[in-house]
Amino acid sequence: MQALRQALSEPIVRLYAATAGVLGVLLLAALQWWSSEGGSVYVLPWYLATIEGLSLLAGISIAFLCLGRYQAVRDLASLLVGGAFLANGALTLLYILSWPGLVSYGGVLTDNPNTAHWLYLLKWSTLAVGLLVAALVGSRQVRHQVLWTAAAGGLVVLAGALVILFEDRLALLEQRGRWTSYGELWAAALALLFLAGSLVTLWRYRRDHDYLLGYTAVVQLVAVFIMLEALVGARRYDAWWYAGRTLLIGGYLVLLVGLLSEYAALYRRERDRAQEARRALAESEALRQIAQEVAGQSPAREVMALVVEQARALLGADRAGVLVLAEEGEDSWHVPGASNGVAGLAPATAAEIVTLVPGPRESAPAPDLGQLHAAAVRALAGADARLVCVVPLVAAGQSYGALVLGYRASRPLLEEDRRFAAALAGQAAVALEQARARRDAAQAEAAREADRLKSELLATVSHELRTPLGAIKGHATTLARFGPRLRSTQRREFLEAIDRASDRLAELIDNLLLVQRMDAGGLPIDLERVALDQLVAEVVAETAARAPAHQVCAAVSAGLPPVRGDPRRVRQVLTNLVDNAIKYSPAGGEIWVAAEPHDEAVLVSVRDQGLGIPAAHLAQVFERFHRVDSERTRTIRGTGLGLAICRAIVTAHAGRIWAESAGEGCGSTFRFTLPRWEGA
Amino acid sequence: MNRRQTVLLVEDDPELVRFAQVSLRMEGYRVLLAGDGERAMELARKRRPDLVVLDLRLPLADGWQVLAFIQGDPALEATPVVVLTATAGPRERERALAAGVADYLVKPVSADELLDAVARALAGRPTASDT
């Protein structure tokens, strides 16, 4: 039952069964008619010519279709069936031409009805033998057998010619419209041969599913029916006679339709193969391109873009994206091209979700599909996807996320689709694995660098703190040990040194804490309108008073716009820079403080005639504890934090600070910008 | 002691020079001052001090160069060297002791500690660092 249902699911078998059913009904009707009317029906003189003409046409068509089939399949069965029908056609032609009154009054080749009967039985004999042999040899493969077939066909025609030439010596097959016993014997033999042929054919069809043989069984069964007319005593132009020949045309038609539908299937398969080949080529090209990007260590984002583009192009997805599961925090969703994004449509929660699990060779732990599905649905939320296809990204035993494909309409996912999707996902996973490895390496490197900087800073801070501490302890213990023996001026000098070192220590600690807070972004900056001209004047006055040996001058543009800043901090920057200029200038040196409008900002410059800065140090002077080490700077004390503080303050004001110098001994200029006050 | 022993004090920070100079003088040493590495090497060659108190971070030539110079000069190789530095790292300390310095003092040091170290180094006794 199961096998029958399976067989009936094939379209050709369905057609076969339907035709057989129609033939069966026709047969039953003919039998009914024949039994009720006593077999006598109207004489239709044109009927025989029409039927035989049609069977000639059908036979030749079948023969050529079968020989064409042989060209493609190279099986002996096609060749034999084709040959049998070719011979049958040739003998049909001879039969038509020899039948008196059919084409001409007395027959074209002969006027002897007995000869026509001989040719008639001969043509059925060749068909019966040909089909039986074809069914017996089945779909055995042969080559170059056409010549043999032609030779056999020639022999058959020769036999026909011999029949006509020696018609006087032939035994009688018919007498007064009835078959002789000799004719009945031959017909009975033929009926048995056809019956055997049809049974072998059906058995063969069942085994090999060779449609051609299956269809010939119909023709053979009809031939059995025709042969039976001789045995049941039917005469020309009675019901049995009409039914047999009409059925024969039906049988031929079944065979023709079967062959033609087989041709159609062949064309379809050929077209599918060509499509498959094109697709396979496109897929391998896409994979090659992606693999090249992966091998070239392209950024994961670019590889994802390519993967999504190919998924859309070759898998026909309406929506596609790569879902990257985050190690912590939010998952990210790569959908290159925002216009093709996934926003603004109906929710996808009703969609059917298909998961393409990676092949068994991936020995990865199964990714958490529930999590992937939830994430995919979230990612496609807003897209009107009816089918969501989730392809997990797995590389080196690690699950990285999924390639997510959204389809507006439900559709079957073919084996090739799955394979290609898995290959795309594999490439994407490798790209993500590489990107993660690169990122981890960079992070480890950055962490090492930060560690190194931290311990370096710690060593520097420790060194800077120990120096004033050394002065304090040294002077104090010297006083304690030798106090009474020291002169009072020396004692005073020592106490002053302790005082200075304490101040320096306190300043150092203050500045360190300040810089630390700025780095952490914890330095409060209260932005307000600051009139720089006034501020510059005040700072110049204060610093000039502290350094009588230097000349500090201000040069402020008239109508200088106010800036946006924290007046206390801006003053600190300016004071630091002027103090630095004084410190690194020889006595009598001039220091200019200038302020002028500069694009959307105000530019402040502090210029000195001091030691200058070598070009290599221009950027580094703003680093903590960075000092230009030279004989002349050695004698100048500083905490090494002043410029770092200046930079932190200016940066917090969204300004820039930099140093300029023509080199050592040429003086230097420190400049910084502050944004203009834009408010009312 | 037959003659006043000479100590070469190599230190670039004027705030630190003063107390060491006064302490050493009060203890009876003659003190030579050098504010940078080149001056230190020059004085060591010309005046052949009995002991060198050496800072490691110096302008022109650093303390390591001065140490190498002293140890490389046959006339000076027996001269004890006491390192006095603000660099507290264990690596520098090991490097200096391996190079054969008599003592390694990390700032801040008291006058007593400095004078003890100098006296021990001059007497060739085991130093505080060895114990």
DSSP letter for each residue of A116-130: HHHHHHHHHHHHHHH
* A463 in contact with chain B, both atoms CB, cutoff 8 A: yes
Q: Using the beta-carbon criterion (under 8 Å), do B109 and A480 form an inter-chain contact?
A: no
ipTM above 0.90, yes or no: no
Which of B22, B107, B108 lies closest to A478 in CB terms? B22
Q: How many helices (H) and strands (E) does chain B have?
A: 5, 5
Q: Which residues contact A328 (CB under 8 A, 6 or more apart)?
A: none
If you count them, how many residues does chain A have? 680
Cβ contacts of B88 on chain A, cutoff 8 Å: 459, 462-463, 466
With cut-offs at 50, 70 and 90, classify the pLDDT of residue B130.
very low
- Measured CA to CA, the distance from residue A100 to residue A115 in angstroms comes to 10
Is the confidence at residue A341, as pLDDT, over 60? no
For residue A502, the distance in angstroms to the closest alpha carbon of chain B comes to: 12
H-run or E-run covering A596: strand A590-598
* pLDDT for res A633: 55
Q: Using the beta-carbon criterion (under 8 Å), do A470 and B107 form an inter-chain contact?
A: yes
Is the confidence at residue A585, as pLDDT, over 90? no
* pLDDT for res A40: 63
Q: Using the beta-carbon criterion (under 8 Å), do B109 and A468 form an inter-chain contact?
A: no
Is the confidence at residue A347, as pLDDT, over 70? no
Is the confidence at residue A675, as pLDDT, over 80? yes
With cut-offs at 50, 70 and 90, classify the pLDDT of residue A472.
very high
* pLDDT for res A342: 36
Is the confidence at residue B31, as pLDDT, over 60? yes
- Asked if the peptide bond before residue B108 counts as cis, ω within 30 degrees of 0, the response is yes
Mean pLDDT in residue range A76-89: 89
Q: Using the beta-carbon criterion (under 8 Å), do A634 and B16 form an inter-chain contact?
A: no
Q: Tell whether the torsion through CA atoms of A523, A524, A528 and A532 is positive or negative.
A: negative
Is the confidence at residue A627, as pLDDT, over 80? no
Is the confidence at residue A148, as pLDDT, over 70? yes
Q: Where are the alpha helices (H) located in chain B, listed in sequence order?
A: 14-26, 37-47, 63-72, 90-98, 111-123
* pLDDT for res A557: 82
* pLDDT for res A580: 85
Q: Which residues contact A327 (CB under 8 A, 6 or more apart)?
A: none
Cβ contacts of A482 on chain B, cutoff 8 Å: 22-23, 26, 111
Is the confidence at residue A424, as pLDDT, over 50? yes
Is the confidence at residue A362, as pLDDT, over 70? no
* A502 in contact with chain B, both atoms CB, cutoff 8 A: no
Is the confidence at residue B2, as pLDDT, over 50? no
For residue A596, the distance in angstroms to the closest alpha carbon of chain B comes to: 39
**Nearest C-alpha neighbor of A372 from the set A330, A398, A349, A401:** A401
> Where is average pLDDT lowest: A335-339, A366-370, B34-38?
A335-339
* pLDDT for res A436: 84
Mean pLDDT in residue range A368-395: 69
Q: Using the beta-carbon criterion (under 8 Å), do B111 and A474 form an inter-chain contact?
A: yes
Mean pLDDT in residue range A661-678: 85
> Of residues A413 and B48, which shows the higher confidence score?
B48
Cβ contacts of A459 on chain B, cutoff 8 Å: 87-89
What are the residues facing A174 on neighbouring strands? A179
Cβ contacts of B12 on chain A, cutoff 8 Å: 634-635
| pLDDT tens, residue by residue, A24-73 | 787 777 777 766 666 566 778 788 888 889 989 999 999 999 988 888 88
> Nearest residue on chain A to B87, judged by CA atoms?
A463
Place of tokens 């583009």: A309
Place of tokens 């694009």: A599
> Where is average pLDDT lowest: A101-105, A332-336, A455-459, A482-486?
A332-336
* A482 in contact with chain B, both atoms CB, cutoff 8 A: yes
Q: Using the beta-carbon criterion (under 8 Å), do B13 and A459 form an inter-chain contact?
A: no
* B86 in contact with chain A, both atoms CB, cutoff 8 A: yes
* pLDDT for res A125: 92
Note which residues in 107-126 of chain B have CB less than 8 A from chain A. Answer: 107-114
* pLDDT for res A273: 92
- Measured CA to CA, the distance from residue A452 to residue A68 in angstroms comes to 83
C-alpha distances in Å from residue A232, one per residue of A101, A186, B18: 26, 14, 149
What whole-number percentage of chain A has pLDDT above 90? 7
| pLDDT tens, residue by residue, B56-67 | 887 777 888 888
- Measured CA to CA, the distance from residue A10 to residue A266 in angstroms comes to 15
Is the confidence at residue A274, as pLDDT, over 90? yes
Q: Which of A430-439, A470-479, A621-630 has the highest average model confidence (pLDDT)?
A: A470-479
* B88 in contact with chain A, both atoms CB, cutoff 8 A: yes
Which of A460, A461, A462, A463 is the mutation pick for testing B, counting most B CBs within 10 A?
A463
Mean pLDDT for chain A overall: 80
Cβ contacts of B59 on chain A, cutoff 8 Å: 629-631, 634
Query: What crossing angle do the helices spanning A45-73 and A146-165 adopt, rounded to 10°?
Result: 160
> Where is average pLDDT lowest: A23-37, A183-197, B38-52, B81-95?
A23-37
With cut-offs at 50, 70 and 90, classify the pLDDT of residue A567.
confident
What are the residues facing A401 on neighbouring strands? A324, A393
Mean pLDDT for chain B overall: 83
What whole-number percentage of chain A has pLDDT above 70? 85
> Nearest residue on chain B to A467, judged by CA atoms?
B86
Mean pLDDT in residue range A258-272: 86
With cut-offs at 50, 70 and 90, classify the pLDDT of residue A372.
low
For residue A458, the distance in angstroms to the closest alpha carbon of chain B comes to: 10
Which of B20, B107, B114 lies closest to A466 in CB terms? B107
| pLDDT tens, residue by residue, A480-532 | 888 888 888 888 888 988 998 898 888 888 888 887 777 777 677 788 888 88
Which of B18, B22, B87 lies closest to A463 in CB terms? B87
Q: Using the beta-carbon criterion (under 8 Å), do A471 and B20 form an inter-chain contact?
A: no
* pLDDT for res A413: 76
> Nearest residue on chain A to B21, judged by CA atoms?
A478
Q: Give the count of beta carbons closer than 10 Å to the beta carbon of residue A195.
A: 16
* pLDDT for res A137: 84
Is the confidence at residue A325, as pLDDT, over 80? no
Is the confidence at residue B125, as pLDDT, over 70? no
